[in-house]
Amino acid sequence: MLNQFFQFLRPAILFFAVTASIFALAENNHNDTSEKSRHPEVIVPEDLPYEALSLNQIRAIFSMRVRRWPDGSPITVMVLRDQNPIHKNFLKSTLQMLPHQLRRHWDRYIYSGIGQGPIVVTNQGEMLEKVRQTDGAIGYIEEGVPHEQVRALAIR
């Protein structure tokens, strides 16, 4: 009796498994094309005296392990919301990290009382404005977005 019941359910289970796989592939293809359309650029105020930093330095800054520029001035990290596709693309393609990895670093500093997390902005326009107005700031935008009074920082 139980065997007959499972034979009856087998086509339904197969249908749902195939349907779920198709939706997962479609979502991955959509994310791949939309998130990889433009590469992110790390931006800093025009008056910041640094032209380039290593990937490890950029990772350390955005993970809040390094909170001061080499000259001793404070770094203010600006990020987009975790759900933002530009933020996800920046983490994957530039920092080569996953969102939960970066969030874990931030939470460790916040909850241990060592420091504060980054400043979260809602869009690229706000990112540009905050980086431009804040001494020692660092953030990121999509490549090709006009950015006056801030400049892209090279990653070596």
Going edge to edge, which strands form the sheet with 119-121? 52-53, 150-155, 40-45, 137-142, 76-80, 119-121
Tell me, what's the pLDDT at 109? 83
Structural domains of the chain, count: 2
Neighbours of 129 (CB within 10 A): 15
Question: Exposed (0-12), middle (13-18) or buried (19+): which is 60, by Cβ within 10 Å?
Answer: middle
Long-range contact pairs involving 105-108 (C-beta distance under 8 Å, separation at least 24): 105/63, 105/64, 105/65, 106/63, 106/64
- 72 and 105 both lie in a single domain: yes
- 138 and 151 both lie in a single domain: yes
Please report, for the domain that includes residue 71, its CATH number. 3.40.190.10
Tell me, what's the pLDDT at 31? 44
- 50 and 67 both lie in a single domain: yes
**What is the C-alpha to C-alpha distance for residues 43 and 133, in angstroms, rounded to an integer?**
12
Tens digit of each residue's pLDDT (9 = 90 or more) over 81-116: 999 999 999 999 999 998 889 989 898 888 888 778
- 118 and 51 both lie in a single domain: yes
pTM of the model: 0.74
Q: Give the rounded percent of residues in the chain with a pLDDT score beyond 90.
A: 57
- 132 and 90 both lie in a single domain: yes
Q: Pick 26 or 70 by higher pLDDT.
A: 70
- 72 and 22 both lie in a single domain: no
- 74 and 100 both lie in a single domain: yes
Confidence of residue 12 (pLDDT cuts 50, 70, 90): low
CA atoms within 13 A on the CB side of 122: 0
- 24 and 58 both lie in a single domain: no
- 57 and 87 both lie in a single domain: yes
Q: For the chain, give me the number of helices (H) and strands (E)? A: 5, 6
- 24 and 59 both lie in a single domain: no
3-class secondary-structure state, position 152: strand
- 130 and 104 both lie in a single domain: yes
- 26 and 63 both lie in a single domain: no
By residue range, what is the domain housing residue 25?
1-35
32 residue type, one letter: D
